[in-house]
Structure 1
């Protein structure tokens, strides 16, 4: 399956929409929902982070690490979580 950034964005927003307003998801939740096999979803992670950074710049989601909000335009390393941002709108 050829996964596009549109597929990633839609999946990410849908997963967040299904959770409580204050809940978060792991980027790997998005990857696993799109590609079930381990090799496939792991290869997708850089694209997932790229889409997350774009959506965070638009304030549609927040990227957090250890509970602290991260700047999406900075270099982000290590485990992160994704939450609804102030401009979150569930995908259609």
Structure 2
């Protein structure tokens, strides 16, 4: 599974207006080895790429973000 697939799988499993935490995608990506922290860079890079392409929306506490910087949530485009 790739970081892109992990993000997509989690978003697909949630309500249309729900968001996910990047660490959830990292945990899914890590799988059985459970070393999700080492996968966070991949998730941040995938989030930035998907946001640049307009495929996802990033936000923090309901405020839209252009790029993953500090804490953020990942959601579908409105």
Q: TM-score, normalised by structure 1?
A: 0.75
Extract unaligned runs of 5+ from structure 1.
87-92
Structure 1 residue runs of 4 or more that deviate by more than 4 Å after TM superposition = none
What are the residue-to-residue correspondences of 1:9-88 with 2, within 5 Å? 9-36=4-31, 37=34, 40-72=35-67, 76-77=69-70, 79-86=71-78
What's the C-alpha RMSD, in Å, of the aligned pairs? 1.5
Deviations along 1:47-90, one digit per CA (max 9) or x if unpaired, are 10110010011111111111111012xx712x21000125xxxx
Which structure's CA Rg is the greater one? 1
Extract unaligned runs of 5+ from structure 2.
none
How many residues are treated as equivalent by the alignment? 76
CA drift of 1:15 comes to 0.8
Q: TM-score, normalised by structure 2?
A: 0.87
Where is the helix percentage greater, Structure 1 or Structure 2? 2
SS in 2 for 1:53: helix
